[in-house]
């Protein structure tokens, strides 16, 4: 009898093995492969057929489809369009904070991939890297001054001194960002970049081991306790937006 | 005296420095040239033209050279047309995914990415590069050619290219997703040059920023209209709740603040908690009034009274 119960427990645990989001780094190669199949099946079941790899790479919790939908994150819409609301964008960022723009420095370096460094004073950390109130982080932008010229990259928002902002970020210390450097280097091989320097070398020279630096995914402006998107559209009161960010982050990582 | 002079100098330098930082972004208007330009696109978009020297400021994989001089860009027949071809031997860049889709643009697809670098000198764009990775050619989620429409499950590379050409011409993003210059794209959706696009070009190249209706998400809903040629009070509501940020209000070409004067008459402007705007003209004359809301992006919504 005891053996039967143990066997049933084992079977039950096996069936639940991939019924929730997994930490991929803790899985063996085989487990990872099985997990990916299970994840793809779940995507198919939910008719999310276009973005399987994209969702998988970003650890989007498709197992919480209904819960996310009830909080205003419709994965079907995410699958269909490049439009990201402040709620759905949470799934693709690993750090969310509220802060104030306190300083802007133009790096003025032709060889640098980033041309502007913006200092943000953290007012509140919602999720992600363990940042404390009052801490200063560095935000890297591609847009910026080059000599007397100014390079504007069309998909980067402007940040203004004194602006109160909610930012969705990715740490430059993260694996995700390091992978992007590989891509950028690959990108540069086909271009006559002066000296054709390896950006890993350039970049690592300018940053300590723990860089406290981030790249930007989304920016929202806070004014009079109301939150606006890049298009200056009101997206909600600060309280409402903060609650949703914390709630959706929590659902997605469970 | 000397101490005062030093304090004054330090304060002056500090304020001037601060102002230069604060104001600098606003001088970076997306404008280029005056009058006419002619498009000459060297090489189809997507074909690398590296090792030419007109971009010293890489990293950019593909270049598109826009030359100036001649041709009315606002004529339908002269709008830029191009074929989208792709060089599949170029490496598949992963920046679209891994630079964390910096904000917005046609870069949110997991694999395909397209965006524009504009290099300004003062308020002039003197070089533009459209960055596009080879996934726009090869992955199943993208499709469409100039002559063939996009599939229902694909992102349209022609629309994305047209959008980026808009940036090259100096346009910024539009606020409504019905327009080509909106920042994102949906599967199966092809957009072409529209009124919003042309209004932007008119504003940039002809300095003719005439009001263009139907562009925005703001509508002016008046509660009281001009009556008996004697306007006393006018109220309006900003329908999208965008009451604080992103636009200025002009009354007969004069910017309205909380308290303004027009024809030497005091105009009081009030804003209540439900985004209701109201102004009262005291002892006004019977002028024709022109109420206009101007977005930071330059688009306008207006109403005559």
Domain membership of residue A19 (yes or no) is: no
Distance CA(A98)–CA(A128), nearest Å, equals 12
Nearest residue in A to B49, CA atom: A191
Q: Report whether the peptide linkage leading into residue B59 is cis, meaning its omega lies within 30 degrees of zero.
A: yes
- Quick one: pLDDT at residue A232? 65
Is A98 in the same domain as A47? no
Alpha-carbon radius of gyration of chain A: 21
Strand B265-271, strand B276-281: pairing? antiparallel
- Model pLDDT for residues B278-287, shown as the tens digit of each residue: 555 544 444 4
Show residues of chain B in contact with A176, CB under 8 Å.
Answer: 98, 100
- Quick one: pLDDT at residue B136? 55
Would you give the end-to-end CA distance of chain B in angstroms?
58
- Quick one: pLDDT at residue A184? 54
Show residues of chain B in contact with A233, CB under 8 Å.
Answer: 175, 217, 240, 242, 246
Number of domains composing chain A: 2
Strand A136-141, strand A213-223: pairing? parallel
Q: Report, as an integer, the average pLDDT of B103-118.
A: 48
Answer for the pair B136, B62: CB distance below 8 angstroms, yes or no.
no
Distance from CA of A29 to the nearest CA of B (A): 22
Compute CA B199 distance to the chain's CA centroid, rounded to the nearest angstrom: 11
Distance CA(B61)–CA(B82), nearest Å, equals 18
Test A187 with B95 for CB contact under 8 angstroms. Answer: yes
Test B173 with A161 for CB contact under 8 angstroms. Answer: no
Test A192 with B90 for CB contact under 8 angstroms. Answer: no
- Quick one: pLDDT at residue A118? 93
Domain membership of residue A251 (yes or no) is: no
More confident residue, A10 or B150: B150
Answer for the pair A156, B115: CB distance below 8 angstroms, yes or no.
no
Show residues of chain A in contact with B217, CB under 8 Å.
Answer: 233
- Quick one: DSSP state of residue A226? E
Pick the range with the lowest mean pLDDT from B80-84, B146-150, B169-173, B235-239. Answer: B80-84
Cβ atoms within 10 Å of A148's Cβ, excluding its own: 8
Test A83 with B184 for CB contact under 8 angstroms. Answer: yes
Is A182 in the same domain as A134? yes
Domains contained in chain B, CATH given: 76-205 (no CATH), 220-304 (2.60.40)
- Quick one: pLDDT at residue B196? 74
Test A82 with B109 for CB contact under 8 angstroms. Answer: yes
Is A146 in the same domain as A191? yes
DSSP assignment of B226-239, as one string? Answer: --TT---EEEEEET
Q: Which of A77, A155, A159, A174 to mutate to test the interface with B (most CBs of B within 10 A)?
A: A155
Domain membership of residue A48 (yes or no) is: yes
Distance CA(B252)–CA(B284), nearest Å, equals 13
Distance CA(A71)–CA(B250), nearest Å, equals 39
Distance CA(B156)–CA(B141), nearest Å, equals 9
Strand B220-222, strand B124-132: pairing? unpaired
- Quick one: pLDDT at residue A177? 67
φ and ψ at residue B75, rounded to 5 degrees: -70, 140
Distance CA(B165)–CA(B149), nearest Å, equals 19
Distance from CA of A111 to the nearest CA of B (A): 8
Q: Report, as an integer, the average pLDDT of B14-22.
A: 39
Residues in chain B: 305
For B44, the 3-state DSSP assignment is: coil
Helical (H) or strand (E) element with A249: helix A238-253
Test A155 with B30 for CB contact under 8 angstroms. Answer: no
Distance from CA of A163 to the nearest CA of B (A): 10
Nearest residue in B to A182, CA atom: B94
Distance CA(B46)–CA(B90), nearest Å, equals 9
Torsion sign (Cα): B13, B15, B19, B21: positive
- Quick one: pLDDT at residue B130? 61
Domain membership of residue A217 (yes or no) is: yes
- Quick one: pLDDT at residue A125? 94
Domain membership of residue A18 (yes or no) is: no
Test B110 with A57 for CB contact under 8 angstroms. Answer: yes
Is A103 in the same domain as A163? yes
Of A154, A157, A177, the CB nearest to B167: A154
Is A149 in the same domain as A28? no
Answer for the pair A118, A159: CB distance below 8 angstroms, yes or no.
yes
Test A232 with B121 for CB contact under 8 angstroms. Answer: no
- Quick one: pLDDT at residue B35? 25
Percent of chain B with pLDDT over 70: 18
- Quick one: pLDDT at residue B204? 64
- Quick one: pLDDT at residue B245? 40
Is A72 in the same domain as A109? no
Show residues of chain B in contact with A141, CB under 8 Å.
Answer: 102
Is A62 in the same domain as A156? no
- The encoded tokens of residue A30 equal 């085989």
- Mean pLDDT of chain B, nearest integer: 51
B276: Cβ contacts below 8 Å, ≥ 6 apart: B235, B236, B237
B121: Cβ contacts below 8 Å, ≥ 6 apart: A148, A149, A150
In this prediction the ipTM stands at 0.75
Answer for the pair B164, B82: CB distance below 8 angstroms, yes or no.
no
State which of A38, A56, A90 marks the end of a domain.
A90
Test B186 with A176 for CB contact under 8 angstroms. Answer: no
Distance from CA of A185 to the nearest CA of B (A): 9
Test A192 with B93 for CB contact under 8 angstroms. Answer: no
Is A103 in the same domain as A200? yes
Is A116 in the same domain as A187? yes
Would you give the end-to-end CA distance of chain A in angstroms?
34
**Angle at the Cα of B47 (from B46 to B53), degrees rounded to 5?**
110
DSSP H helices in chain B: 2-27, 95-98, 135-138, 157-168, 195-205
Is A79 in the same domain as A162? no
Domain membership of residue A161 (yes or no) is: yes
What is the pLDDT confidence band of residue B174, given thresholds at 50, 70 and 90?
confident
Nearest residue in B to A150, CA atom: B120
DSSP assignment of A51-63, as one string? Answer: -HHHHHHTT--GG
Show residues of chain A in contact with B60, CB under 8 Å.
Answer: 191
Test B241 with A234 for CB contact under 8 angstroms. Answer: yes
Domain membership of residue A1 (yes or no) is: no
Residue ranges, chain A, pLDDT below 70: 1-19, 109-113, 175-211, 231-232
- Quick one: pLDDT at residue B244? 35
Answer for the pair B98, A127: CB distance below 8 angstroms, yes or no.
no
Domain membership of residue A249 (yes or no) is: no
Is A60 in the same domain as A142? no
Q: Report, as an integer, the average pLDDT of B118-127.
A: 66
CA distances, A124 to each of A98, A131, A249, A253 (Å) = 5, 8, 15, 19
Cβ atoms within 10 Å of A7's Cβ, excluding its own: 10
Distance CA(B128)–CA(B147), nearest Å, equals 25
Distance CA(B25)–CA(A156), nearest Å, equals 13
Domain carrying residue A163 = 93-223
**Angle at the Cα of A24 (from A22 to A25), degrees rounded to 5?**
130
Test B108 with A84 for CB contact under 8 angstroms. Answer: yes
- Model pLDDT for residues B53-70, shown as the tens digit of each residue: 222 222 222 333 333 323
- Quick one: pLDDT at residue B290? 56
- Quick one: pLDDT at residue B198? 73
Is A152 in the same domain as A218? yes
- Quick one: pLDDT at residue A140? 86
Q: Which of B89, B90, B104 to mutate to test the interface with A (most CBs of A within 10 A)?
A: B104
**Angle at the Cα of A32 (from A29 to A36), degrees rounded to 5?**
140
Distance CA(B129)–CA(B45), nearest Å, equals 10
Residue B266 has pLDDT above 80, yes or no: no
Test B97 with A57 for CB contact under 8 angstroms. Answer: yes
- Quick one: pLDDT at residue A75? 92
φ and ψ at residue B264, rounded to 5 degrees: 65, 10
């Amino acid at each position: 009898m005891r053996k039967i119960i143990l066997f049933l427990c084992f079977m039950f645990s096996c069936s639940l093995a991939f019924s929730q989001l997994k930490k991929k780094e803790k899985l063996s190669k085989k487990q990872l492969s099985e997990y990916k199949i299970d994840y793809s099946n779940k995507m198919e079941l939910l008719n999310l057929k276009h973005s399987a790899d994209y969702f998988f790479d970003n650890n989007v919790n498709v197992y919480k489809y209904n819960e996310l939908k009830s909080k205003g994150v419709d994965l079907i819409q995410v699958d269909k369009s490049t439009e990201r609301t402040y709620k759905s964008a949470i799934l693709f960022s690993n750090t969310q904070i509220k802060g104030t723009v306190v300083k802007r420095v133009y790096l003025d370096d032709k060889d640098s991939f980033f041309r502007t460094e913006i200092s943000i004073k953290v007012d509140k950390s919602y999720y992600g890297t363990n940042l404390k109130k009052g801490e200063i982080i560095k935000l890297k932008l591609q847009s910026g001054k080059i000599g007397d010229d100014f390079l504007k990259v069309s998909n980067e928002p402007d940040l203004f001194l004194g602006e109160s902002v909610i930012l969705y970020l990715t740490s430059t210390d993260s694996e995700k960002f390091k992978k992007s450097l590989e891509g950028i280097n690959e990108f540069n091989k086909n271009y006559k970049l002066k000296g054709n320097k390896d950006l890993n070398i350039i970049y690592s020279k300018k940053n300590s081991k723990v860089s406290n630096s981030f790249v930007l995914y989304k920016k929202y402006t806070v004014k009079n306790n109301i939150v606006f998107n890049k298009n200056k559209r009101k997206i909600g009161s600060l309280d409402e937006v903060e609650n949703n960010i914390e709630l959706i982050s929590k659902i997605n990582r469970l | 005296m000397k101490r005062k002079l030093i304090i004054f100098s330090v304060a002056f330098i500090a304020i001037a420095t601060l102002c230069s930082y604060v104001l600098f972004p606003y001088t970076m208007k997306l404008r280029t040239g005056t009058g006419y330009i002619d498009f000459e696109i060297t090489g189809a978009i997507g074909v690398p033209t590296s090792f030419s020297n007109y971009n010293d400021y890489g990293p950019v994989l593909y270049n598109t050279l826009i030359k100036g001089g001649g041709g009315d860009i606002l004529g339908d027949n002269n709008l830029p047309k191009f074929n989208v071809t792709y060089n599949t031997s170029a490496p598949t860049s992963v920046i679209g995914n891994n630079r964390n889709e910096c904000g917005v643009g046609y870069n949110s697809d997991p694999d395909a990415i397209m965006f524009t670098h504009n290099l300004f000198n003062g308020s002039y764009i003197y070089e533009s590069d459209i960055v596009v990775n080879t996934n726009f050619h090869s992955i199943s989620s993208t499709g469409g050619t100039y002559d063939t429409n996009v599939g229902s499950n694909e992102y349209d590379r022609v629309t994305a290219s047209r959008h980026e050409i808009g940036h090259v011409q100096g346009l910024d993003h539009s606020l409504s997703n019905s327009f080509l210059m909106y920042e994102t794209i949906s599967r199966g959706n092809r957009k072409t040059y529209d009124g919003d696009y042309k209004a932007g070009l008119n504003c940039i190249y002809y300095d003719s920023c005439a009001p263009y209706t139907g562009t925005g998400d703001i509508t002016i809903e008046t509660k009281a209209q001009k009556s008996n040629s004697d306007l006393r009070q006018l109220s309006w509501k900003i329908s999208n709740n965008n009451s604080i940020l992103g636009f200025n209000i002009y009354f007969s070409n004069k910017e309205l603040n909380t308290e303004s004067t027009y024809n030497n008459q005091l105009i009081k402007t009030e804003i209540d908690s439900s985004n209701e705007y109201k102004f009262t003209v005291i002892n006004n004359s019977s002028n024709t009034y022109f109420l206009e809301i101007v977005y930071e992006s330059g688009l306008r919504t207006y109403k005559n009274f």
